[in-house]
């Protein structure tokens, strides 16, 4: 990010207008995806303050005219902490496929521990939260990143969203030990003066961990992957499509069927809406069908209106 006035691309009102439009567009798309919080850096917040002090910030969407009121001289908005942008993808030592799945995963976990000592980015915290469940699980569920509760328990999906996930699995006739549960990012994203608050991992943080999730998928080789929420969907299927547009059909990752569904915290945020419950449940029914699991009439009818 530059605010150097000598730069040809900065400080011009039309460019600032573009930046503001991009920020508004970004915030609208996040809202559409069901996100209620985003982390913005100081420059983005400055742009928002500028927008809210203008008489009709909404006109921005339609306006092509340069803004005449003084605007912050910013050419690019960073959505994540700056340091995260310098993370290199994690270089992994090869893991022998002839070892058992448990041993291969243990080696992968060990490499992540080693990564802590040297080149670990400041934007992530230091406690490794690797995965839980069975490496022989037929279903691999992928979330975003650990939060406060997960960091305390050293296991993914421990807080309210985790309890919801347990309920979903229970409705399928499964428990955590029969599936493999993991996150894209294995360390809790940090925030200034952090207590129990969590944040979504940045694009750069997710990118740094892609070699790890790829390796986990290679090792576990599940019969089906379920992505929970927008972040694993975007990362794994390399798309910026929304969960609502991608759920309801099958996708593929390296020949493995992928079912996209909402994150359990979206269900919580929706006030446990029956409509959201039913959509998640339909995705889970599709998974059960794909795996040839028995489905009772009662299970088929869960969360239908008037059921």
Residue whose CB is less far from ligand URA, 135 or 147: 147
Query: Does residue 143 touch ligand URA according to CB under 6 A?
Result: yes
Task: Point out which residues pair with 143 in neighbouring strands.
Answer: 183
Residue whose CB is less far from ligand URA, 1 or 178: 178
Least CB distance to ligand URA at residue 143 (A): 3
Least CB distance to ligand URA at residue 289 (A): 25
The DSSP H or E segment spanning 189 is: strand 187-189
Least CB distance to ligand URA at residue 146 (A): 5
Stretch binding ligand URA (CB under 6 A), from 57-65, 77-85, 140-148, 275-283: 140-148
- CA–CA distance, 16 with 39 (Å, rounded to integer): 20
**Positions in 153-182 near ligand URA (CB under 6 A):** 156-157, 161
Site mask for ligand URA (CB under 6 A), range 266-295, x = bound: ------------------------------
Query: Does residue 144 touch ligand URA according to CB under 6 A?
Result: yes
Total Cβ atoms within 10 A of residue 293: 16
Say if residues 250 and 244 touch (Cβ distance below 8 Å): no
Q: Which of 132, 183, 202, 261 binds ligand URA (CB under 6 A)?
A: 183
209-215 long-range contacts (CB < 8 A, ≥24 apart) are 209/90, 209/184, 209/185, 210/89, 210/184, 210/235, 211/89, 211/90, 211/91, 211/92, 212/90, 212/92, 212/108, 212/112, 212/186, 213/142, 213/182, 213/184, 215/92, 215/95, 215/108
* Residues engaged in binding ligand URA (CB under 6 A): 143-147, 150, 156-157, 161, 183
């Amino acid at each position: 990010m530059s605010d150097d006035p000598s730069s040809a691309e900065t400080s011009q009102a039309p460019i600032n207008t573009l930046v503001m439009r991009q920020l508004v567009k970004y915030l609208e798309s996040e809202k559409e995806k069901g996100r209620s919080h985003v982390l913005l850096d100081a420059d983005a917040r400055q742009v928002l303050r500028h927008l809210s002090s203008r008489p009709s910030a909404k006109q921005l969407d339609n306006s092509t005219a340069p803004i005449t009121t003084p605007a912050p001289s910013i050419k690019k908005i960073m959505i994540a902490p700056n340091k995260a942008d310098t993370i290199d993808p994690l270089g992994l030592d090869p893991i022998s496929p002839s070892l058992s799945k448990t041993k291969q995963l243990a080696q992968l976990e060990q490499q992540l521990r080693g990564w802590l000592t040297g080149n670990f980015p400041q934007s992530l915290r230091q406690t490794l939260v690797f995965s839980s469940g069975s490496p022989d699980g037929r279903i691999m569920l992928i979330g975003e990143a650990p939060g406060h509760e997960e960091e305390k328990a050293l296991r993914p999906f421990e807080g309210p969203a985790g309890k919801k996930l347990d309920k979903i699995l229970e409705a399928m006739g499964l428990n955590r030990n029969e599936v493999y549960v993991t996150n894209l990012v294995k360390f809790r994203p940090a925030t200034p003066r952090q207590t129990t608050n969590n944040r979504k991992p940045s694009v750069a943080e997710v990118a740094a961990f892609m070699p790890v999730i790829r390796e986990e998928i290679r090792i576990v080789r599940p019969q089906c992957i379920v992505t929970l929420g927008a972040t694993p969907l975007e990362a794994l299927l390399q798309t910026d499509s929304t969960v609502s547009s991608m759920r309801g059909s099958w996708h593929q990752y390296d020949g493995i069927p992928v079912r996209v569904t909402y994150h359990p915290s979206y269900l919580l945020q929706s006030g446990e809406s029956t409509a959201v419950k039913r959509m998640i449940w339909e995705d889970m029914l599709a998974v059960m069908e794909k795996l040839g699991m028995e489905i009772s009439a009662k299970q088929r009818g869960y969360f239908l209106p008037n059921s």
